[in-house]
Amino acid sequence: MPDSHEADRPFNVYLDFAQPLSLDSMEGVPSVAPVAPALPGEKSLAFDWQRQLHRLFDWIGSMAPGVVLAVLLAYVGSEAASYIGINLLGFQKSPLSPILITVMLGLLVRNVIGLPRSYEQGLRLCVKRILRVGVALLGLRLSITAVGTIGLTALPIVIGCIVAALLVVTRLSRLVGLSPRLGSLIAVGTSICGVSAIVATAPVIQADEEEVSYSVAVITLFGMTALFAYPFLAHWLFDGNAQLAGFFLGTAIHDTAQVAGAGLMYDLQYDAPEALEVATTTKLVRNVGMGIVIPLMALSYHRQRQQQAATNVVTSSIKQSHWLKWSQMVPLFMLGFVALAILRSVGDLGNDRPFGLIDHSTWTNWLATGKTMAVFFLTISMAAVGLGTSFAQLKNLGWKPLCLGLTAAVLVGCVSVALIWILKTPG
């Protein structure tokens, strides 16, 4: 993607045009890292350990503002939800979700006060790496058997939602006069994994920067709306069944961060950790779909051109998509999630002495610590999501992309609910 005016772009915590070229992208697309230029004062240092520490201090200094602000808002949001619900409203347990309050505080700060660019790198760290660590730690809450069972149950729901969005949304985009590229980006963003899918798909269908920005704005708007509304909607639709609610949250909400936030909101609001576990596992199954959908989108888009000149483009795009496929089939944080689920399973086999090394109470304490850390990291990432979402980016969005995005979100949500009701099992 072009980056000549990157400094002039309004900051969006989801959007990173270097994402598909970096090992740090949500789906783990690899590339060779660029050589870092020397930092001011580094050349005067005589020893390598001095230069390494110099770079570490520089990295901490660049990350600290955003990370500290996200941690502060996460703490304030949790305390505010408890204080308002218990002390002011008189409930024994606060009916207000700390995640909801945290995200709203972030949105308020970003859109009322505004954030200097010095906060950007730290917020990206929260939404990308800290979020992934939190998701990976959720693997400690599940056995590998449970992960496989949830994944297999979610698979037909995921496939149905992806197919419905790709077929209907791309066709509707042509009917309302939008470019096929914009329609394709909104379709993949809605059906697979939000902004990550958009940024990864854009190069192979030759989407321009404006189309990427429009589709990201649409996905952000309706993804944030779903983050706030869907946990309560799911609780009502499925009569408090946390497992079915988790399948819905994992298939109907766009971005990984939004799914994790909605699952955590449901967990904390209704004391139902199963919803978070199912939603996260289901979302990881959706993410794997990128490796299949991106080549198909490239082929479908270029076949519509029916031009001889497009032949080479198709070939190169499919080759690029095929190369992306294998790296995206095994996201790095998904490997961590599965590895920790395996660790949990092996540890639980030793009832009295897990791994033959530690006593059962120590193992239980470790699992409880892992659960607490997962919630802590996810809450921080939700604060960063709020801080990184600017409503000003929506002001130039035309009504056609907006309507298409709304239609796509409603379509995927309805297909998800229908398939869950069709395929649900007792309990």
pLDDT at 425 over 70: no
Q: How far apart are CA 19 and CA 29, in angstroms?
A: 8
Mind giving me the DSSP string for 304-359? TT--TTHHHHHHHHHHHHHHHHHHHHS-HHHHHHHHHHHHHHHHHH-SSSGGGTS-
Mean pLDDT for 140-158 is 89
- Determine the pLDDT at residue 175: 87
Contact 193, 255 (CB under 8 A): yes
The CB density around residue 58, as the number of other CB atoms within 10 Å, is 14
CA distances in angstroms from 111 to 34, 36, 144, 245, 390, listed in the order given: 34, 33, 42, 31, 6
- The pLDDT tens digits of the residues spanning 88-116 come to 877 777 777 888 889 899 999 998 988 88
Handedness of CA 299, 300, 304, 306 (dihedral sign): positive
Q: Cα angle vertex 124, ends 136, 332, to 5°?
A: 30
- Determine the pLDDT at residue 318: 45
- The pLDDT tens digits of the residues spanning 262-294 come to 999 999 889 899 999 999 999 988 888 777 777
Indicate the pLDDT class of residue 179, thresholds 50, 70 and 90: confident
Q: For 38, which DSSP code?
A: P
CB within 8 Å of 405: residues ≥ 6 apart? 186, 190, 218, 219, 221, 222
In this structure, what token pair is assigned to residue 314?
A: 């198709």
- Determine the pLDDT at residue 285: 87
Mean pLDDT for 2-15 is 52
Distance of CA 129 to the CA centre of its chain: 11
Indicate the pLDDT class of residue 50, thresholds 50, 70 and 90: confident
Contact 290, 200 (CB under 8 A): yes
- Determine the pLDDT at residue 41: 63
- Determine the pLDDT at residue 39: 63
Report the range of poorest mean pLDDT among 107-116, 149-158, 396-405.
396-405
Mean residue pLDDT across the chain: 79
User: Which of these, 325, 338, 239, lies nearest to 287 by C-alpha position?
Assistant: 325
Q: How far apart are CA 73 and CA 103, in angstroms?
A: 9
- Determine the pLDDT at residue 369: 92
- The pLDDT tens digits of the residues spanning 201-222 come to 887 787 777 788 788 888 888 8
- The pLDDT tens digits of the residues spanning 348-394 come to 887 677 777 788 888 889 989 998 898 899 899 989 988 888 877 67
Mean pLDDT for 149-175 is 90
CB within 8 Å of 172: residues ≥ 6 apart? 183, 404, 407
pLDDT at 133 over 60: yes
Specify the residue for token string 């995640």. Answer: 99
- The pLDDT tens digits of the residues spanning 23-47 come to 334 443 334 444 456 666 666 666 7
pTM: 0.80
- Determine the pLDDT at residue 263: 92
- Determine the pLDDT at residue 9: 55
CB within 8 Å of 262: residues ≥ 6 apart? 226, 227, 230, 231, 249, 253, 279
Report phi then psi at 11, rounded to 5: -70, 130
pLDDT at 302 over 70: no
